[in-house]
Amino acid sequence: MAGEARDLMNKENVCIRIDGVRKVFNGRNGEMVALNGVDLDIHDNEFICVVGPSGCGKSTLLNIIAGLLEPTEGKVYCNGKEVTGTGTERGVVFQQYALFPWLTVKKNVMFALEMRGVKGKEAETEAMKYLEMVDLAKFADHYPKELSGGMKQRVAIARAYAAEPQVLLMDEPFGALDAQTRTQLQTELLETWQKKKKTCFFITHDVDEAIILAQKVIIMSARPGRIKRIVDINIPYPRTQETKMTPEFIELKNEIWGQVYQEYLEVRK
């Protein structure tokens, strides 16, 4: 990148820059363009939600930012440096997260703390704080196989938070959870984000969830995935469940749903 571009990036506090990303998969039926011409700047401490029809390339984009997939064309930068693989400043939570089955819940979380140099008793105390956050302190000494799917996902979330990444990349992390747990985790994620100032890139198929969480909702088009629209959500934080009853929320919901629905129809054509 030219020096000038990098300077501009620092001035704007760009945390992640997605620059002309295209991704082609070589599948069973030949080449498949999953993403085409995706450009996006994600600023420090920004909360971005991504919505779009199934198969439009949301997970592909997240995996490219995480450094788990390489773009066919274009580049991704994190703090001005080209992404060429995974990095501890970028933490990922998938919908189904693999915990270490041979470690207890607490040890799973401690693993993330030890990775960033927190050791011994301190790691244990910290791990318990993160488990309390997801309401699982009582299960600290259980093994993952003794927990329900939703509980395992909460451990995975606690572990991702414990790693204290600068950027949280979340791919439908609450998608498989019951409504009550989902609401609780949304609230906790917002509190964590406000307290610890993180950059969040969060994929969801739930428009309500996107509006409750995000400062900006990115609507992706049907395949090949492009950014169709960016909708600013100017509802002040803290947002609560009552926020969903306000006229501004309902108006945003109708607008975003309308856009996403058009793309669903494209997929079905």
Ligand X SMILES: Nc1ncnc2c1ncn2[C@@H]1O[C@H](COP(=O)(O)OP(=O)(O)O)[C@@H](O)[C@H]1O
List residues binding ligand X (CB under 6 A): 25, 27, 32, 34, 52, 54-60, 223
Pairwise CA distance, residues 179 & 171, whole Å: 17
Quote the least distance from Cβ 141 to ligand X, whole Å.
Answer: 35
Contacts with Mg ion by CB under 5 A: the residue count is 2
Q: Is 259 in the site for Mg ion (CB under 5 A)?
A: no
84 touches, from ligand X, Mg ion, none (C-beta below 5 to 8 Å by class): none
> For residue 31, with 0-12 CB atoms within 10 Å meaning exposed, 13-18 middle and 19 or more buried, which class applies?
exposed
> Would you say 164 or 172 has its CB closer to Mg ion?
172
Segment lying near Mg ion (by CB under 5 A), choices 29-37, 56-64, 174-182, 216-224: 56-64
> Would you say 17 or 223 has its CB closer to ligand X?
223
Could you count the other beta carbons within 10 Å of the beta carbon of residue 255? Answer: 16
199 touches, from Mg ion, ligand X, none (C-beta below 5 to 8 Å by class): none
Q: Which residues contact 155 (CB under 8 A, 6 or more apart)?
A: 99, 105, 108, 109, 131, 134, 136, 144, 147
Quote the least distance from Cβ 216 to Mg ion, whole Å.
Answer: 19
* Spatial contact of 213 and 47, defined as CB atoms under 8 Å apart: yes
Quote the least distance from Cβ 33 to ligand X, whole Å.
Answer: 9
Quote the least distance from Cβ 169 to Mg ion, whole Å.
Answer: 12
> Would you say 1 or 32 has its CB closer to ligand X?
32
Q: Which residues contact 11 (CB under 8 A, 6 or more apart)?
A: none
Quote the least distance from Cβ 61 to ligand X, whole Å.
Answer: 7
> Would you say 94 or 139 has its CB closer to ligand X?
94
Characterize 139-178 residue by residue with b for buried, 16 or more Cβ atoms within 10 angstroms of its Cβ, and e for exposed: bbeebbeebeeebbbbbbbbbbbbbbbbbbbbbbbbbebe
Q: Is 59 in the site for Mg ion (CB under 5 A)?
A: yes
Positive or negative CA dihedral for 266, 173, 44, 209? positive
> Would you say 162 or 220 has its CB closer to Mg ion?
220
- What is the SS3 string spanning 119-148? CHHHHHHHHHHHHHHCCCHHHCCCCHHHCC
Quote the least distance from Cβ 49 to ligand X, whole Å.
Answer: 13
173 touches, from Mg ion, ligand X, none (C-beta below 5 to 8 Å by class): none
- Interface positions with Mg ion (CB under 5 A): 58-59
